[in-house]
Chain A
């Protein structure tokens, strides 16, 4: 596997379900991100982790709960979601830290989430 992978690619869940999205990066990066992409809207940054520490929570509702056990893996735990949470959830990674260069972000293919 190369780059940034995300599983599952598609997920349909009811409002009372609990599910998790998984992201794994194979780039040796130290920073990881969750974004939400809805139709006709810009990508919305949700969470940022740098060296496993959460550095950004962009006022995301508590029904979304991130977890970063190590620099290669990032999870997004979902519970009691609403239909308006249906979107493409993208994970990204970047070198992070004090790389001294430009810290460009590389994206995974996304998980298409539908909340019924």
Chain B
């Protein structure tokens, strides 16, 4: 069993839709949860991170963590064609001290169509 499971997609939605992206994980030591966005031919860029359980909102993006279910989600409201990218979840037990090991999901490819 992989430590982090993520549906690779592709996921295709119409412009303006609410998008839900999800990951499940098995390691209960994970405390920090991140979402990265990767455009084609680019490196991943950090969208947001959440510590432990709860919600975090940033503009059109909301990250949710449910540690009891080992389940994390990223919601994108009013999706735009510019949101078309691969979304990677990542997690780690510690995010201080430098040299932290992140465990990534495979990424979900999202396409937002006009």
List chain A positions with a Cβ less than 8 A from chain B.
Answer: 4, 6, 30-31, 33, 40-43, 45, 48-51, 55-56, 90, 92, 94-110
Asked if A94 and B44 make an inter-chain contact with CB atoms under 8 angstroms apart, the answer reads no
B105–A94 CB distance below 8 A:
no
User: With A99-B96, A101-B96 as given contacts, are A107 and B101 in contact (CB-CB < 8 Å)?
Assistant: no
Are A42 and B99 interface neighbours, CB within 8 A?
no
- Is residue B18 contacting chain A, with contact meaning CB distance below 8 A? no
How many Å lie between the Cα of A76 and that of B83 in the bound state?
A: 32
Whether B98 and A103, one on each chain, are in contact in the complex, defined by CB atoms closer than 8 angstroms, is yes
Say whether B106 contacts A42, CB under 8 Å: yes
Instruction: Tell me, in angstroms, the Cα distance from A110 to B42 when the chains sit together.
Output: 7
Q: Hey, which chain B residues are within 8 Å of A56, CB to CB?
A: 99, 101
Which of chain B's residues has its CB closest to A90's CB?
A: B43
- Selected A-B contacts with CB under 8 Å, 22 pairs: A4-B43, A33-B99, A42-B2, A43-B90, A43-B104, A50-B99, A51-B98, A56-B99, A94-B100, A97-B97, A101-B96, A102-B32, A102-B51, A102-B96, A103-B100, A104-B34, A104-B46, A105-B102, A107-B44, A109-B43, A110-B42, A110-B43
Check if A102 sits within 8 Å of B49, measured CB to CB: yes
Measuring CB to CB, which residues of chain B are less than 8 angstroms from any residue of chain A? 2, 4, 8, 32, 34, 36, 41-46, 49, 51, 88, 90, 95-107
Q: Are B8 and A31 in contact (CB under 8 A)?
A: no
Q: Are B104 and A42 in contact (CB under 8 A)?
A: yes
**Dominant SS at the A interface?**
loop
Residue of B nearest to A102 (CB): B95
When C-beta atoms are compared, the residue in chain A nearest to B5 turns out to be: A42
Residue in B closest to A55 when the chains form the complex, CB atoms: B99
Chain A positions within 8 Å of B49 at CB level? 102, 104
With A and B bound together, what is the CA distance between A96 and B104 in angstroms? 19
Contact between A96 and B41, CB atoms less than 8 A apart: no
If the complex has contacts A42-B4, A106-B46, A108-B43, are A48 and B106 also in contact, measured as CB distance less than 8 A? no
